[in-house]
Amino acid sequence: MAAYNLFKEYERLGLDTVFLARTDQPSHGGSAFSTINSDKEILFHTHMSDFFLFQSGCKKHVWQEFHALLQRYKPTVIHFHHYIHMGLELIREVRNTLPDARIVVTLHEYLAICANNGQMVKPGKQMKLCYKSSPTDCARCFPERSAADFFLREKYIKSIFNLVDIFVSPSHFLVERYKAWGIPEEKMVMIENGQPEIETPAPRPLAEGEGRGRFAFFGQINPFKGVDVLLEAFKLLPEDIQKKVHLDIHGANLEGQTEAFQEKIHGLLEDLGDLVTLHGSYESHEIGRLMEQADWVIIPSVWWENSPMVIQEAFNHGRPLIGSDIGGMVEKITNGVNGYNFRSGSSNALKQAILKAYKEESNWDLVAKEILSPLTIGACADKHLGIYSF
């Protein structure tokens, strides 16, 4: 969404821009590319075969089809918002084909640093946070691979990253992580993801005697997002409070998780009954309507979130947040100012934050009035245009 929003803004400004997005759907006639909406929105029908080194599963797509696409459009700036599922080799192909083009890469997580899905969380049930990677430590997390494997992985990824002119991060936290990993400070810039300009909706209308007890979660349902921590926190609430609050979960992909995790979530949902409503997935255009039905938005992630889009979306709709005290979340949610923080992974700490948020209605008014409008898409585009220049 961050990438597509920028693309549409550049189109509005009259810039000659092409948007390329990977898809896992088969193409007609076996072509690597197809178009949607217009010839400026292109789908790349490709895949990766090596998620350890992020290498393309079809080399021909890189050195032939993607190469031909570059030669056709001859862009002066190529901005990668990701390389997952497409391959790091695309960056090298850009440099080989268009040596004078400016290459920009937005880093949305820690994939280059961490082989555990870029989460910087130790594998295992306890999901301990990782503070710094090293070949030796990474080999302990993945004993099937040697420290030498991780040493060579880092060297390979950095050889590709050396071809990049500038890296963008939506949080200062991620900037510091990648600087510590070895990216030069002068190559890093922080630009927050932009949001559409809207009229901030009014607070949710309350029935007589009702408090601001409508809480909501938005995002993927997986172990890293802390939905189990969230449900356990609501289970710990006193019975009299449980009768006055409600949790709406707007999220998808639970069915794609491990059987053990699915059983845990379904068990908690069964225990909580009518206290929680699981709504399933939602489209980006629905976010405004869903936010208007909430008083508080909760982000219980147990990994170092960089800059969850839901933070900016909540602020854009005037909804205060309750979030874990790590990563980019604590950078953007100031405790007692525009929301509340709680100790990451602690259902009891989250329970206390929920009680604090709900018990005094003045708390909502105080934090809601301190919410600042997030960076607009227009302002975000302007900042990017500044780094696109040579």
Query: Which residue ranges make up each domain of the chain?
Result: 2-194+377-388, 214-368
pLDDT score, position 40? 93
Could you tell me which of 100, 109, 116, 41 has the C-alpha nearest to residue 81?
Answer: 109
| C-alpha distances out from residue 65 to 60, 232, 300, Å | 7, 50, 42
Using one digit for the tens of pLDDT, what is the confidence trace for 63-94?
999 999 999 999 999 999 999 999 999 999 99
Task: Report the DSSP beta bridge partners of residue 276.
Answer: 247
How much is the average pLDDT of 290-319? Answer: 94
Could you tell me which of 88, 19, 108, 21 has the C-alpha nearest to residue 48?
Answer: 88
Domains 2-194+377-388 and 214-368 share a fold: yes
Instruction: Please tell me what DSSP assigns to residue 28.
Output: G
In our burial notation (b when 16+ CB lie closer than 10 A, e otherwise), range 116-147 reads bbbbbbeeeeebeebeebebeebbebeeeeee
User: What is the reported pTM?
Assistant: 0.90
pLDDT score, position 135? 96
Round the average pLDDT of the chain to a whole number and report it. Answer: 94
pLDDT score, position 308? 87
Using one digit for the tens of pLDDT, what is the confidence trace for 35-56?
988 889 999 999 999 999 999 9
Q: How confident is the model at residue 28 (pLDDT cuts 50, 70, 90)?
A: confident
pLDDT > 90: percent of the chain? 85
Joined together, the tokens standing for residue 174 give 């991620």
pLDDT score, position 359? 84
pLDDT score, position 61? 95
How much is the average pLDDT of 210-226? Answer: 93
Check: CB of residue 11 under 8 Å from CB of residue 41: no
**Options 3.40.50.300, 3.40.50.1820, 3.40.50.2000, 3.40.50.720; CATH of 214-368:** 3.40.50.2000
Q: How confident is the model at residue 325 (pLDDT cuts 50, 70, 90)?
A: very high
Residues 6+ apart with CB under 8 A from 327: 171, 173, 301, 303, 304, 305, 306
CA dihedral (95, 100, 106, 110) positive or negative: positive
How much is the average pLDDT of 254-274? Answer: 94
pLDDT score, position 124? 81
Joined together, the tokens standing for residue 123 give 């594998």
Asked if pLDDT for residue 361 goes beyond 80, the answer is: no
Q: What angle, rounded to 10 degrees, do the helices at 2-12 and 377-388 form?
A: 80
> Spelled out in words, what is the top-level CATH class assigned to the domain 2-194+377-388?
alpha beta
Asked if pLDDT for residue 360 goes beyond 80, the answer is: no
pLDDT score, position 1? 87
Residues in the chain: 390
CA dihedral (35, 95, 3, 227) positive or negative: positive
Longest CA pairwise span in the chain (Å): 67
CA dihedral (363, 369, 372, 377) positive or negative: positive
Joined together, the tokens standing for residue 251 give 């999220």
Asked if pLDDT for residue 125 goes beyond 80, the answer is: no
How much is the average pLDDT of 263-279? Answer: 96
Q: What angle, rounded to 10 degrees, do the helices at 347-359 and 227-236 form?
A: 60
Give the whole-angstrom CA distance, residue 367 versus residue 331. Answer: 16
pLDDT score, position 179? 96
Q: How confident is the model at residue 390 (pLDDT cuts 50, 70, 90)?
A: low
Residues 6+ apart with CB under 8 A from 104: 77, 78, 79, 80, 164, 165, 166, 167, 168, 384, 387, 388
Asked if pLDDT for residue 174 goes beyond 80, the answer is: yes
Give the whole-angstrom CA distance, residue 65 versus residue 61. Answer: 5
Q: How confident is the model at residue 96 (pLDDT cuts 50, 70, 90)?
A: very high
Chain centroid to CA 249: 17
How much is the average pLDDT of 164-168? Answer: 97
The residue behind tokens 């390389």 is 83
Give the whole-angstrom CA distance, residue 62 versus residue 32. Answer: 10
